[in-house]
Structure 1
Amino acid sequence: MENLIELLKGVRDDIDFRECASLVDDGILDSFDIVEIVNLIGEEYDIKIPAIEIVPENFNSVDAILNMIQRLQEK
């Protein structure tokens, strides 16, 4: 998880990713942030995130992002 948090801080260092559980719902992350995160996750974890997975539920918290990554790695 620490690796993911550091990756996310590279996108937005002004957010406490450990504490926030409504990153998308509260408008903290915008669409440009999500696109950058998707690209970085793809490179870092060697996975492709399909468009169907790019939904608020998968990006509202670091736990949700990590769960999505783990789920996609199992495929």
Structure 2
Amino acid sequence: MEELLEILKDVRDDIDFGQATDLVSSKLLTSFDIIQLISTLDDEYDISIPASEIVPANFDSAQAIYALVQRLKG
């Protein structure tokens, strides 16, 4: 989880990812941020995030993103 928080901080250092629970729904993350994050997650964790998984619920918090990564790492 700490590694993920560092990745998130690299994408947007002005957001407290440890506390935020509405990153997408409150528009804290832009579509560009999400695309950058998906690319970084793909590279860092050697995963491929399918289009069907690119939904707000999977990106609304660091915990949700972590759960997505763990699920895809299988």
TM range (shorter): over 0.9
What is the SS of the residue equivalent to 1:25? coil
Question: What residue in structure 2 maps to residue 10 of structure 1?
Answer: 10
RMSD: 0.3
**How many pairs were matched up?**
74
What is the SS of the residue equivalent to 2:17? coil
Runs of 4+ off more than 2 Å: none
Alignment deviations for residues 9-31 of structure 1 (CA, whole Å, 9 cap, x no partner)? 00100000000000000000010
Q: Percent identity?
A: 53
Flag structure 2 segments of 5+ consecutive residues without an equivalent.
none
Flag structure 1 segments of 5+ consecutive residues without an equivalent.
none
> What is the alpha-carbon distance in structure 2 between the residues aligned to residue 53 and residue 33 of structure 1?
16
